[in-house]
Copies of this chain bind each other. A is one copy, B any other.
């Protein structure tokens, strides 16, 4: 663990990475934090907050870039450890590292440009009657220290130095990261990369701490700590709800950004099914198999109108899936939950098994494709629950209204994928308003797996896909989670924060009297 700059071995309980491809426990053993160590991490984060946020934006950007470089400099050691702890293929881990590094660098650019500060200036009008108008200027400042809970399914891009850490650090918030117990070794390596960047950038050590938790107590105490001002979490619905409850019951409630569960409906329109049903089916199976189905955006639900087109799709998907090799799942626990979820569907009286993938060994998940009718789907809420892994359910709808009703019945989702042809546009247009109310991202002729890290991306959605649909966890908009506005009225120029001054060096884009004025 890193309590600020200090590397310490946790002394509570024992955590070990497990190689899910063999079931073998990995060396070394790690220990969880004591309450005193947690307290120390939070104290350091609180002390670091003011100096860290006061740092020039160039230095903060350089710090993010130093983290990125340090992660790359870990080289193969990091890749090998991540492969060993996650069971993910090497190519995927390398790609994910590129993504983690890329988002740190993208946030560095966002910080340099300073547009995220949301500077607004309404200049004084001393002549206004009956009362002179004061000078009012506002920008957004960081919330304070942020607790980040790493995800199991993206041990690099959504864990210790993942999206939440990158956006919180970019916003000016110190981070206390709680390592996911499934990849302690990866967490240690990445945590060291950040710790070293803190030191080499001359920042206060409390800007970053990494703690382990051998149970749930330390993570819960982290969210309850009065010095923590926001929480980023990616994981299960149960875990996210528990953290939301703790955060709300604090004397000072704080925002929790939890990404929890999503079945990501795929909607097959009639024209597309006619034109290229089997092609879509093969692409669907490829998406479903990515990362052994352990993507938050994995296509867990297929909706289409019953008929020859959907039948052809179902046959083609079944054939492709039957050939699909079982993939090693992230942890024995996730594998067990997957098997139970698949088992429940297979046994369900109103659900038919279309196909199973190839059987695997150890903790490999055998893919599964099921089918049911809209009425049965509507009648049983259990069929709307996420089965985390390569399992998906086709729902056959008698007509367009039945399909719309199934969409209406869904909870909030991260994504919806529409497969359409030119002849489907009118049908799509009717469904779009319903989808907009349900999801964070609507995509056409593709699948939600593979989330671009850019400026327009929304990786979020209404509850329960996330705890707060007003936000995204991927892309540059994510920085907004960790900011709040502050206004300054009639402050003398030399007391104003630099980006709020007139014609400042380091000016940033701003709204002046509600009109955009671009810097440089």
Which residues of A line the B interface, CB within 8 A? Answer: 49-50, 53-54, 109-110, 113, 115, 120-122, 131, 133-134, 136-138, 141, 143-144, 244, 248, 252-253, 255, 411-412, 425, 428-429, 432-433, 436-437, 439-446, 450, 452, 454-458, 460, 462-464, 467-472, 476-477, 483-492, 494-495, 509, 511, 513-514, 516, 518
Q: Indicate if the CB atoms of A485 and B440 lie closer than 8 Å.
A: yes
Q: Are A516 and B513 in contact (CB under 8 A)?
A: no
Shortest distance between the CB of A385 and any CB in chain B (Å):
14
- Give the distance to chain B from A472, nearest Cβ to Cβ, in Å: 6
A490 and B122: CB pair below 8 A?
Answer: no
Minimum CB–CB distance for A475 against chain B, Å:
8
A443 touches B488 (CB 8 A): yes
**With A122-B454, A255-B470, A514-B455 in contact, is A487–B136 under 8 Å at CB?**
no
**16 further A-B pairs in the complex, CB-CB below 8 A; given A138-B456, A429-B495, A443-B489:** A49-B437, A115-B516, A122-B454, A136-B457, A138-B458, A144-B437, A252-B412, A253-B467, A255-B470, A425-B492, A436-B486, A444-B489, A454-B514, A458-B485, A470-B483, A472-B485
Give min CB distance, A118 to chain B, whole Å.
Answer: 8
Residue of B nearest to A51 (CB): B433
Complex Cα spacing A444 to B137, Å: 12
In contact, A487 and B134 (Cβ under 8 angstroms): no
A456 with B120: CB separation less than 8 A: yes
Q: Could you tell me the distance in whole angstroms from the C-beta of A113 to the nearest C-beta in chain B?
A: 8
With A428-B495, A463-B253, A516-B516 in contact, do A487 and B442 touch (Cβ < 8 Å)? Answer: yes
Q: How far is the CB of A376 from chain B (nearest CB, A)?
A: 22
Neighbouring B residues of A467 by C-beta, 8 Å: 253
Task: Quickly give the copy total for this chain.
Answer: 2
Residue of B nearest to A247 (CB): B248
10 contacts between A and B (CB under 8 A): A109-B514, A115-B516, A122-B454, A244-B248, A252-B462, A440-B486, A441-B487, A444-B489, A469-B484, A518-B518
Contact A452 B133 (CB under 8 A): yes
Most buried by B among A446, A458, A511: A458
Given A455-B511, A463-B253, A511-B455, the answer on whether A444 and B491 have CB atoms closer than 8 Å is yes
- Whether the Cβ atoms of A440 and B487 lie closer than 8 Å is yes
Give CA–CA (A144, B437) in the complex, Å: 8
Task: Check B442–A491 contact: CB distance below 8 A.
Answer: yes
Question: Residues of B contacting A115 with CB < 8 Å?
Answer: 516
Contact A444 B122 (CB under 8 A): no
| Bound form: Cα–Cα A456–B462 in Å | 29
Min C-beta distance of A107 to chain B, whole Å: 11
Q: What residue in chain B is nearest A130 (Cβ atoms)? A: B95
Q: How far is the CB of A102 from chain B (nearest CB, A)?
A: 13
**B252 near A495: Cβ-Cβ < 8 Å:** no
Who on chain B is nearest to A460 by CB? B485
Residues of B within 8 A of A458 (CB): 138, 485-487
A121→B456 contact, CB < 8 A: yes
User: Bound state CA distance, A129 and B165, in angstroms?
Assistant: 27
